[in-house]
Amino acid sequence: MREAMTTEILVNHAVQGDESAWHTIVRSYTPLVRAVCRRHGVSAADADDVAGRVWMHLLADIRRLREPAALPGWLRTTTRRECQALWRTNRDTPFDEDAVLHPALPPADARLLAEEQRVVLREAVSSLPEQERRLLALLFSDPPVSYEEISAQLGMKRGSIGPTRQRILLRLRRADVWLDYEPTF
């Protein structure tokens, strides 16, 4: 309810010409627009074009939105239509059939890169001392383990668990194994 109210207020301010409201709308909803593009197999470069057209449509049509709180749905629909228009205009351009048939899957190169990063992360984690590996395993277990349980199992003070986690993650980010990759954590 609060998000819908915030969206409604932002849209109303944008209609009145409030530039900061426009910036907030674009910043807040760009991930949604990009997600719809990914689901439709649109490349990153084409997604920029699609997003630009979506924002231009919003600029032209924002006064006609009957329900300002429904902006996310309007953006999804408009983005989907722009993705379809892109496919219609690019019919002669070869495209990844698998991405169209299975739009929820990321492109093969993204899946491969993610798997390579998981392997590199495992390598980096395996270089940590045993106590630190155990701490990370407990912190990222499913279901989550409470700090009290971690403290008891590892003999650590509860207040040192968070700072220790931060130091470990910082060391992992700086590990030499990432020379060819950008860490995603």
What the block records as the tokens of 164 is 């220790």
What the block records as the tokens of 146 is 């409470």
- Residue 31 has a CB neighbour count (10 Å cut-off) of 9
pTM score above 0.85: no
Mean pLDDT of 69-74: 89
Tens of pLDDT along 14-67?
A: 889 888 989 999 999 999 999 999 988 888 888 899 999 999 989 888 888 888
In 3D space, the residue among 104, 51, 93, 56 whose CA is nearest the CA of residue 76 turns out to be 51
Q: What is the band of 180 on the pLDDT scale with cuts at 50, 70, 90?
A: low
Domains belonging to the chain, first-starting first, are 2-101 (1.10.1740.10), 108-180 (1.10.10.10)
CA distance 42 to 46: 6
Tens of pLDDT along 83-105?
A: 988 887 766 555 555 555 555 55
Question: What residue spans of 71-184 are helical by DSSP H?
Answer: 71-89, 97-101, 108-126, 130-139, 147-154, 158-173
